[in-house]
């Protein structure tokens, strides 16, 4: 029934979209436009995602070790981030942060959730299968199990300072057997500086409290 439809019709008196603009044949000096090219110093994907892992680590309240993790899918879209800390609802001021104590129950280790665990749990239903995870510290054996079970196929880490521990040795065995690729991040840049202050001379919008 629409075979003869030729599209909407407009009145002949409708103003042209180009009305008011000079025609190509208009006399007068022509404005010369500079052709822009892309910025050559954009950071790499690896540096970008590892930086997000570092930024996430700044949320950790652990006084000795701050770790962040960032999960990314094949289209370079972030599906989950996390950092090390105690479970939701557990008082940061009541649980211990110590690394050593007479009893293990007086250390942080029985209570803390690692960054990889939180990143996986924070995907909020997003598919982690086939993703890669960026993490500041090479995963322990417990996190290695979670990474494998969640379907993540690549681990990109920065530090491997616990390389000789049994935990990390077990992680490498598990990753090797399950086919999860591991590679150390090789940064293209040394540091990234983020300035959250407004540019000089620019005024910000006044924040209005809920109570007015």
DSSP state of 162: T
Q: For residues 175 and 46, give the distance between their C-alpha atoms in angstroms, rounded to a whole number.
A: 20
What's the distance, CA 56 to chain centroid? Answer: 8
Check: CB of residue 81 under 8 Å from CB of residue 70.
yes
Q: For residues 70 and 78, give the distance between their C-alpha atoms in angstroms, rounded to a whole number.
A: 7
Check: CB of residue 97 under 8 Å from CB of residue 62.
yes
Q: For residues 82 and 116, give the distance between their C-alpha atoms in angstroms, rounded to a whole number.
A: 7
* Residue 156 CB neighbours (<10 A): 20
Provide the token pair at 71.
């999960």
Tell whether the torsion through CA atoms of 152, 153, 157 and 163 is positive or negative: positive
Active-site positions read 116
* Residue 122 CB neighbours (<10 A): 16
Give alpha helix (H) positions in 45-165: 45-57, 115-121, 141-149
């Amino acid at each position: 029934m629409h075979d003869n439809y030729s599209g909407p019709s407009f009145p002949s008196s409708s103003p042209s979209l180009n009305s008011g603009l000079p025609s190509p044949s208009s006399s007068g000096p022509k404005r010369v436009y500079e052709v822009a090219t892309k910025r050559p110093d954009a950071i790499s994907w690896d540096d970008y995602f590892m930086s997000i892992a570092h930024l996430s680590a700044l949320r950790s309240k652990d006084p000795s070790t701050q770790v962040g993790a960032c999960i990314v899918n094949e289209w370079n879209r972030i599906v989950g981030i996390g950092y090390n800390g105690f479970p939701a609802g557990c008082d940061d001021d009541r649980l211990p942060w110590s690394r050593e104590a007479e009893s293990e129950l007086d250390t942080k280790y029985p209570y803390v959730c690692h960054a990889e665990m939180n990143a996986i749990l924070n995907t909020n239903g997003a598919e982690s299968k086939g993703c890669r995870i960026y993490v500041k510290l090479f995963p322990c054996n417990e996190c290695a199990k979670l990474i494998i079970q969640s379907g993540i196929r690549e681990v990109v880490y920065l530090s491997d300072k616990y390389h000789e521990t049994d935990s990390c040795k077990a992680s490498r065995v598990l990753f090797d057997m399950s086919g999860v690729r591991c590679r150390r991040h090789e940064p293209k840049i040394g540091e990234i500086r983020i300035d959250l202050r407004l540019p000089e001379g620019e005024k910000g919008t006044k924040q209005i409290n809920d109570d007015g």
